[in-house]
Amino acid sequence: MPDILVVDDEPSILEFLEVLLSKHGHRVRTAATLGLATDALAAAVPDLVITDFRLGKQSGIDVVKAARALPMPPEVIVVTAYGTPASAVEAMRQGAYDYVTKPFDNEELMLLVERALEKRGLRAENRRLRARGSGVFVGQSPAMQQVWSLVQKVAPTRATVLIAGESGTGKEVVARAIHFESPRASQPFVPVNCGALAEGVLESELFGHVKGAFTGATTDRQGILAAAGEGTVLLDEVGELPLGTQVKLLRVLQERKVKPVGSSREVPFEARILAATNRKLEDEVRSGRFREDLLFRLNVIVIDVPPLRRRREDIPQLAQFFLERVANELGRPGLHLTPEAMAVLQDYGFPGNVRQMQNVMERAATLSDTDALGVEALPPLVRGAAGDLEAGPEVALPQGFSLELHLDTLERRYLHEALRRAGGAKTKAAELLGLSFRSFRYRLAKHGMPPDDL
């Protein structure tokens, strides 16, 4: 039975949703404050969280963050007030699955709930597939082969490995590969997002706490490092660790023992630790945000995951991989890219790397009515300017060049040409240039082209 956590500071809404969701066969827990919600999340990870955006003085965004930072994160639906699109955007940015606007329609909400639960089901399925280590590491480029051979080399050891690379390059994929290629594969792999939790919460998450360590610590609780047993813990976004926690982590790494918050006793742990970062930690050290001693401890072995634009050879294979995956999910086995669309993808810079590629393919497949995905199925950003600028014809820059003069001349030529084609009809000419009539007239005047003479 799916487990849903409902968070709202309004008792009547809590009660209403509890009845509605139970009637649809879900197990429901409720929380009226951020604190109670975090407790409920800690007690057991639900399949879905439905939270109000505003919890009195507290924010539902913190519920989203806490939920999404969990090792097996639940989907989250955020309830926002009518006319506050910014809060919806913020919720999605923090990883919410979707949002509903108050006052919501029961059917609309239930539809969303079912879809979110379905997605969670798919995710769990993906996770099982991944756990079998089946073909998840796509990329035959020399750069990725090198990454792969490093993975093989470090996997059997207990060494701490720092995985560095831009956002979306596949750092977590590499971390999972290390885990699943290691003798620890049958043990848990637990990623922890170091940037998502407040210092105190993070420490009690990682190291555990004893009863009475702080308000709300009603029982002893094991931290992730101990709970992972002989598995692997990925400290994701390690560059975001608060300085205080960095000191503690350094000790933990050196002594391979943790001291739960509020305890004076150290407990040994067996888990292997990996770390990932999309920041240049050397820069962070220079600006005093990261401890040099911790960096030295972490960067004994570094795996650099190159950005996608440095391994364009992988683009076709990745595109194919993601497309096949959505095609399966959508039950549309015929989906394919036209050669033109593939060419555009290969020219694109992918600032968001593999994750962006994945999104582009999912979007194209979902929005397209036909099985052949052409250039028009790609987002404007991908097919547009970036490609043109980089791939377009080279421009000349002669001595004494003046951009302003050059653009002026161009503008004049276009104004002329448009008027000529429009047979002097100014409204038509403006339209040809994609200008408003006012702006067109202004430009004519600027160039001393008295409109009536033409």
Ligand X SMILES: Nc1ncnc2c1ncn2[C@@H]1O[C@H](COP(=O)(O)OP(=O)(O)OP(=O)(O)O)[C@@H](O)[C@H]1O
Residues at the interface with Mg ion (CB under 5 A): 172
Q: Which of residues 173-202 bind ligand X (CB under 6 A)?
A: 173
Q: CB nearer to ligand X: give 357 or 429.
A: 357
- The vertex-310 CA angle with 305 and 312, nearest 5°, equals 110
SS3 string, 1-53, reads CCEEEEECCCHHHHHHHHHHHHHCCCEEEEECCHHHHHHHHHHCCCCEEEEEC
Q: Which of residues 294-323 bind ligand X (CB under 6 A)?
A: none
Least gap, CB of 411 to Mg ion (angstroms): 46
The listed partner (Mg ion, ligand X, none) that binds 101, CB under 5 to 8 Å by sort, is: none
Binding mask 399-418 for ligand X (x = CB under 6 A): --------------------
Q: Does 123 bind ligand X (CB under 6 A)?
A: no
- Report which of 189, 180, 187 is spatially closest to residue 236, judged by C-alpha positions: 189
The listed partner (Mg ion, ligand X, none) that binds 167, CB under 5 to 8 Å by sort, is: ligand X
DSSP state of 371: S
Q: Does 137 bind ligand X (CB under 6 A)?
A: yes
E strands, 278-380, where? 301-304, 336-337, 372-373
E strands, 37-177, where? 48-52, 54-55, 58-59, 75-81, 98-102, 161-164
Q: CB nearer to Mg ion: give 113 or 234.
A: 234
Among the listed residues 51, 169, 204, 245, the single contact to ligand X using CB under 6 A: 169
Q: CB nearer to ligand X: give 51 or 356.
A: 356
Q: Does 136 bind ligand X (CB under 6 A)?
A: yes
Q: Kindly list the distances between the CA atom of residue 138 and the CA atoms of 164, 289, 316, 342, 425, in Å, as whole numbers in the listed order.
A: 18, 34, 10, 17, 57
Residue 147 corresponds to which amino acid?
V
Q: Kindly list the distances between the CA atom of residue 341 and the CA atoms of 309, 361, 381, in Å, as whole numbers in the listed order.
A: 17, 11, 13
Stretch that binds ligand X, among 14-22, 239-247, 285-293, 354-362 (CB under 6 A): 354-362
Give the three-state DSSP class for 203.
helix
Q: Which of residues 276-295 bind ligand X (CB under 6 A)?
A: 278
- Tell me the residue nearest to Mg ion as measured from the CB: 172
Tokens representing 264 are 């004076």
Q: CB nearer to ligand X: give 14 or 238.
A: 238
Q: CB nearer to ligand X: give 104 or 137.
A: 137
Stretch that binds ligand X, among 54-62, 114-122, 167-175, 214-222 (CB under 6 A): 167-175
Contact residues: ligand X, CB under 6 A: 136-139, 165, 167-173, 278, 354-355, 358
